[in-house]
Structure 1
Amino acid sequence: MTEILVIGGGYTGVTAAIRVARRTRSTGARVTLVNASPRFTERLRLHQTAAGERLADHALTEVLAGSGVAFVLGRVAAIDPVQRQVRLDAGRTLGYDKLIYALGTMTDAGVPGVAEHAHVYDDHAAAVRLAQHLDTLAQGTVVVAGGGLTGVESAAELAEARPHLRVVLLTRGRPGSMMGQGARAYMDRVLERLGVEVRAGVHITKVLPDGVELDDGELIHSDATLWTTGTKGLPLAAESGLSVDERGRIVVDPVLRSVSHPDVYAVGDAAAVTQKFGVMHGTCQGGIPTGLGAADSLAATLRGRTPPPFRFGYVHQPVSLGRRDAVIQFTRPDDTPRRWYLTGRAAIAYKETVSSSPIITFKLLKRGLVPVWTFGLTAGPS
């Protein structure tokens, strides 16, 4: 019996586990998913959790029910790709024939003070801690560091949900710089309407217990600092001897196998996946297709077939701006903006469809179907 072990129960790990269990059922393979938490975290909604919204709680046992995937609760402490074993922090050791690494990334806390004083979105519990801290503030200032889509969504969400707090968005470049001019202008107007103070062109050199310090020496007071400026791979991959890039992501070949250890597949944010336009950046939009691609690649290999290379192209940049507004920038496959974008109610509906799609995707995958929003990368019945 082939033992397939999937480590990480986020969007990509669950996708890969359900898909590979379905695709390898006839081969007698056994699929096990390991995750440090019993719940499935909707990372696309962590800014809502941080703002204090109560969201649905999805137990991984319920998400995986009927898929044929066994679930093990535990945090991965070490990987031995030579002996093909994974050790959990409780001391338990799991062997594997094939491993799918889907542990994602962690916040890049390279700036002094981030690890000690900033709130991050590394997991659901971290977002809850931020919400609980904000509950204690009758007034005050929240600094959101980072003008990418996560920073913009967080600033808008917090400003709308907690109007008694001052929200300051600090960014080196222009917020939403990857979007087209029209979409950016709309986003700017909404942030202004929500009362978000945007300061672009600034560089934070230190996070303090009660503020942040800029490179020109200016101190900005903060009662809570949210850090969204970048991520990196977990040290676990490099410590295990897997080949990684400069950001700690596992370097994979065209069929998503580790270039150093071909029995290991890497997916989602944890993988450095090269396409014609360059290396993919971490998003749910690209993560779920890599989970499908790795599962199909692995299944083909077990059947003695040569898997086709993974291919992917971006479609959109969906951005929620609180609960009452949004903007959707449509893109070329290399993620550069097209002329078209959606705003207002249509964008709200579109964004909510995107945010809800993973749970629906899991249900369809268990039935052997691939929904159209995975862009047909591995379309067709199992």
Structure 2
Amino acid sequence: MKTGHHVVVLGAGYTGMFAAIRLARRTRRTGVRITLVNPSELFTERLRTHQIAAGQTLPRHRIPDLLAGTGVVFVHGAATAIDPAARTVAVDRGAAALAYDTLVYALGSSTDTRGVPGAADHAFTLDSPRAAADFAARLDDVAAADGTVTVCGGGLTGIEAAAEIAEARPGLGVTLISQDEPVAAWGAGPARHGARARAHLCRALDRLGVTVKTGARVAKVLPDAVELDNGETVASDACLWTAGVVVPSLARDAGIAVDDRGLVVVDATLRSVSHPEIHAVGDAAAIHMPWGRIHGTCQSGLPTAQYTADTIARLLRGKTVGPFRFGYVHQPVSLGRRDAVIQFTHADDTPRRAHLTGRAAVFYKEKISGSPLTLYRISKRMHLSATLSKGGRATRGVTA
């Protein structure tokens, strides 16, 4: 084991936090130093930000408290530049750059409001608890005036947000705008796949009074309306934007190899193809399995963090590593506090026939949403796996 080795982890989201904690456990009493850099002292439970947007108050988790006892040093600041040649990271609140031997790039994505005029100026996002709380405060005024709310984006985040808002404020008009049918991915493969889960989801939105508009794209966001590309105008006193994501330009600006979306291009061991001392995890990395590209979710992100922590520890011991393998297991969607739907999936994220709804699904979803924090606490004392599936036969063709 190399001693005095310095590992810098950029980003303390779900993946960066787990990578730092697990690596600390894997390298304890070896002299390896780990530094975790994040712009906020508070850990963001992104799986729950839609609850904050609906007006709920959630517990606050300080990053230094989550790291207590691990030996990981926390730096409160935003990384502003990476110099791969010098192996340094500039941080906005630090006087000196952080030198690293190994870098874990875990800077996740944020909502992309650039492509539609007015979205950046007039729409709210769920990028942080503060942003979600600002939207909730706006809802108070809208509800008092019997106004209307639009949620733009029919993915999992948009559906959860629309349902949560409608349940929390029954008299409020809520419209979910999606180009395709909500959770259209559940329709992949034969038409019968995912049909029952989709039907339950649609019934739940209807029961909650959510109006669903499909078949048109948002062309413009105005202060009091949303214009669609079919010429229709939808009244909107508050617009929540959940359509599309964008990643920071830090890796691209540093000359690290990225794809057309700005994700770090990695090999089968999740190391940068241009700078092997840099490991990328979660939705910061362009990761491909034999069945296709992994999309950024907590379900896939935590296994990448686990794998990377274990990989770095093995490399420092001079051992070889096998390729990263992953397969999806489920797609959990909350529909307010009293309903949910869990679609079980094949490794490539296409739907199986099995699904859960109602109270069983609520219990399942709540356990999933809270599991990262439990994982962090337990991982300080023992090695607990976050990988539910390595994909079976679907990923056995992966080569390093």
**TM-score of the superposed pair, with normalisation by structure 2:** 0.92
2:139 matched to 1:134? yes
1:105 to 104, 109, 115: 109
Preserved CA contact (<8 Å) 1:146 1:169: yes
Match of 2:397 in 1: none
Q: Secondary structure at the match of 1:262?
A: coil
Q: What is the alpha-carbon distance in structure 1 between the residues aligned to residue 271 and residue 129 of structure 2?
A: 29
Amino acid at match of 1:219: T
Partner Cα separation in structure 2 for residue 272 and residue 297 of structure 1: 18
Q: Secondary structure in 1 aligned to 2:184?
A: coil
Residue 188, structure 1, aligned to residue 192, structure 2: no
Task: After the TM superposition, list the runs of 4 or more consecutive aligned residues in structure 1 that deviate by more than 6 angstroms.
Answer: none
| SS across alignment from 1:243 | coil
Distance 1:31 1:202 in 2: 48
In structure 1, distance between residues paired with 2:275 and 2:122: 37
Which among 217, 226, 238 is matched to residue 203 of structure 1? Answer: 217
The one-character-per-residue Cα deviations of 1:220-241 (angstroms, maximum 9, x if unpaired) are 1111111111112111221111
Q: In the TM superposition, what is the alpha-carbon distance from 1:374 to its structure 2 partner?
A: 2.8
The residue type paired with residue 173 of structure 1 is D
CA contact (8 A) 1:118 1:225 kept: yes
Counterpart of 1:82 (choices 69, 82, 85) is 85
Counterpart in the other structure of 2:62:
59
Alignment of 1:1-12 (within 5 A): 1-12=4-15
The Cα shift of 1:305 comes to 1.2
Write the mapping of 1:1-382 to structure 2, written as runs, cut at 5 A.
1-92=4-95, 93-109=97-113, 110-137=115-142, 138=144, 139-179=146-186, 180-371=194-385, 374-375=387-388
C-alpha distance after superposition, 1:39-78 (max 9, x if no partner):
1110000000100100011111111111121111011111
Preserved CA contact (<8 Å) 1:145 1:171: yes
| Structure 1 residue 376, shift from structure 2 partner | 6.4
For 2:94 and 2:38, locate their aligned partners in 1 and report how far apart those are by CA, in whole Å.
15
Structure 1 residue 91: deviation in Å?
4.5
**What's the offset of the Cα at 1:176?**
1.6
SS at match of 1:168: strand
Q: Comparing 339-348 with 292-301, which one deviates more in the overlay?
A: 292-301
**5+ unaligned residues in a row in structure 1: which ranges?**
378-382
How many Å separate the matches in 2 of 1:69 and 1:368?
Answer: 16
Cα drift, residue 144 of structure 1: 0.5
- Residue 119 of structure 1 aligns with an amino acid whose one-letter code is F
Match of 2:190 in 1: none
The one-letter code sitting in structure 2 at the alignment partner of 1:374 is T
- The CA deviation string for residues 161-219 of structure 1, in whole angstroms up to 9 with x for no partner, is 11121100000110121221000000000000000000111111111122211112222
Tell me the alpha carbon deviations over residues 131-164 of structure 1, each in whole angstroms, 9 at most, x when there is no partner.
1111222121110011111111010000001112
Give CA-to-partner distance per residue, 1:325-374, whole Å, 9 cap, x none.
00000000000000000000100000000001001000111112214x53
CA distance in 1, matches of 2:363, 2:372: 16
Which region of structure 1 is more displaced relative to structure 2, 229-238 or 1-10?
229-238
SS of the equivalent of 1:356 reads helix
Are the aligned partners of 2:76 and 2:93 in contact in 1 as well (CA < 8 Å)? no
Moved more, 49-58 or 122-131: 122-131
Partners of 2:291 and 2:302 lie apart in 1 by 19
- Do the aligned partners of 2:109 and 2:247 also contact (CA within 8 Å) in 1? yes
SS in 2 for 1:39: coil
CA contact (8 A) 2:151 2:240 kept: yes
Contact 2:326-2:389 at 8 Å conserved across structures: no
In 2, are the aligned partners of 1:232 and 1:249 still within 8 Å (CA)? no
Number of corresponding residues: 376
Paired with 2:250 and 2:123, the residues of 1 have a C-alpha distance of 23
Letter in 2 for 1:154: A
Root mean square deviation, CA, Å: 1.2
Residues 242-298 of structure 1: CA distance to partner in whole angstroms, max 9, x if unpaired? 111121111111111111111111111111111111110010000100001111111
Structure 2 unmatched runs, 5+: 187-193, 391-400
Q: Distance in 2 between matches of 1:300 and 1:200?
A: 49
> Is contact 1:32-1:70 (8 Å) kept?
yes
Shift of residue 304 of structure 1? 1.0
TM-score, normalising length: structure 1: 0.96
| Paired residues of 1:10 and 1:40 also in contact (CA < 8 A) | yes
| Residue 380 of structure 1: aligned partner | none
**1: CA distance, partners of 2:316 / 2:221:** 50
Q: Distance in 2 between matches of 1:239 and 1:117?
A: 29
Partner of 1:40, secondary structure, is coil
* Distance in 2 between residues matched to 1:252 and 1:114, nearest whole Å: 32
